[in-house]
Amino acid sequence: MDTTSTAAKRDFLGFSHLDAGRIVELFDFSLFVKKQRRESAAAASYRPIEGKTVAMIFNKPSLRTRVSFEIGVHELGGYALNLDGKSIGVNSREAVEDIARLLSRYNDAIVARLHEHSIIEALAKHADIPVINALTDLSHPCQILADAFTLYEKGLWRDDIKIVFVGDGNNVANSWIELAGLLPFHFVLACPEGHLPDAGLLETAREKGAGTIEIVHDPFEAARGADVLYTDVWTSMGQEEEARERLETFREFQINERLLSVASPEAVVMHCMPAHRGEEITAEVMEGPRSIILDEAENRLHVQKAVMVKLLNHEEYRKFHLTHRLENVAGKLKH
């Protein structure tokens, strides 16, 4: 978690203040909330953010993020307000620092999807309450946490897992790179020249160095032996004017049966969605047996619930891990 303006509050703007142990803790808590949701009686009585409110600012369109946060807050006992970014006018109708301070008087957390990353940093700096990054032009940490959790949950995560991102060096690729600084895995980005990821995040991740990061420009070279083939749209929100040109530039960077055939025979296919069949992924692969795309989309809900409990009721989060550890020790002593 990013720790910003006050000692007590934590934000989730990226992974910079997490380490491998804390990520696994988040995954274990996500498993707990996911399992509990299936046991509906337990879920109904579990309300760790009872009475708390979360203001959600969306300056870009969204389906998964908006719905999963809104439902997540509701299920944890809180109340979410969906604020249309246009009507608030972040840094146009009203200065970001005023929005941050004002919302801190009414709410317990802010979830924000914005363009410039520097604006979410300013929001976090001036807010007294946790700020969660729901996607910026730079990164999409909620997505990648849910994706890595999906692999963990399925028992597919290994220190030498090869995850190949085919497409644009965009916000989603940047968050994979950030994660590779903290967790040991092999990340390969196959992107056209001129569509590289963020240089600063790449440098920091390589310095942290838990995983290995390769950038190549040949999708077939990248996909050879891959355990995961991952993709995202060729044109991200805000780049619509470049869409036609991008269709041409990215033509070879498609996940299709031919590309899948050089990956590991057990490889899985992931996509953060929304997906454009016939562009970055074929309908055949998207609907095929290797696709775990809807599982990762569902997991956005469970992982974001875990993040919210960690940020909004840290005592509850800590208690869970303490009990969990004691149960593990007790289990080991029995055997």
Kindly list the residues in this chain that would bind ligand NVA in the complex (CB under 6 A): 135, 170-172, 232-233, 236-237, 272
Catalytic residue among 195, 246, 300, 302: 300
Q: Which is nearer to ligand NVA, 104 or 231 (CB)?
A: 231
Smallest distance, ligand NVA to C-beta of residue 138, A: 10
Stretch that binds ligand CP, among 13-21, 62-70, 91-99, 194-202 (CB under 6 A): 62-70
Q: What DSSP designation does 305 have? A: H
- 158 flagged as catalytic: no
Residue 212: other Cβ atoms inside 10 A: 15
63 binds, among ligand NVA, ligand CP, none (CB under 5 to 8 A by kind): ligand CP
Q: Tally the residues of the chain.
A: 335
Smallest distance, ligand NVA to C-beta of residue 115, A: 10
Smallest distance, ligand NVA to C-beta of residue 135, A: 6
What the block records as the tokens of 23 is 């990520």
Give the whole-angstrom CA distance, residue 163 versus residue 229.
6
62 binds ligand CP (CB under 6 A): yes
Q: Which is nearer to ligand CP, 274 or 288 (CB)?
A: 274
- 272 flagged as catalytic: yes
Catalytic residue among 168, 272, 290, 304: 272
272 binds ligand CP (CB under 6 A): yes
Give the CB-nearest residue to ligand CP.
65
Which residues, listed in sequence order, are joined to residue 57 by a DSSP beta bridge? 83, 112
Task: Lay out the site mask for ligand CP across 129-168 (x = CB under 6 A, - = otherwise).
Answer: ------x-------x-------------------------
Catalytic residue among 143, 168, 254, 304: 143
DSSP 24-38: HHHHHHHHHHHHHHH
Smallest distance, ligand CP to C-beta of residue 293, A: 10
Q: Calculate the alpha carbon distances from 294 to 177, 275, 312 in Å.
A: 22, 11, 28
Stretch that binds ligand CP, among 10-18, 57-65, 176-184, 323-331 (CB under 6 A): 57-65
- Binder among 85, 97, 273, 295 for ligand CP (CB under 6 A): 273
- 198 flagged as catalytic: no
Cis bond leading into 274, ω under 30°? Answer: yes
Q: Calculate the alpha carbon distances from 136 to 108, 132, 306 in Å.
A: 21, 11, 21
- 276 flagged as catalytic: no
Residue 220: other Cβ atoms inside 10 A: 14
C-beta separation of 172 from 147 below 8 A = no
What the block records as the tokens of 73 is 């807050």
Give the whole-angstrom CA distance, residue 318 versus residue 2.
18
Residue 288: other Cβ atoms inside 10 A: 12
- Binder among 30, 65, 299, 313 for ligand CP (CB under 6 A): 65
- Binder among 44, 63, 247, 329 for ligand CP (CB under 6 A): 63
Catalytic residue among 64, 113, 117, 290: 113
Catalytic residue among 140, 195, 290, 302: 140
Spatial strand order of the sheet with 53-58 comes to: 79-84, 53-58, 109-113, 131-133
E-strand spans in 201-301? 212-216, 228-231, 268-271
Q: Which residue has the tokens 């795309």?
A: 293
- 143 flagged as catalytic: yes
Name which of residues 188 to 217 contact ligand CP (CB under 6 A): none
- 314 flagged as catalytic: no
Query: Which stretches of the chain bind ligand CP, using CB under 6 A?
Result: 62-65, 135, 143, 272-274
Q: Which residues are tagged catalytic? A: 113, 140, 143, 232, 272, 300
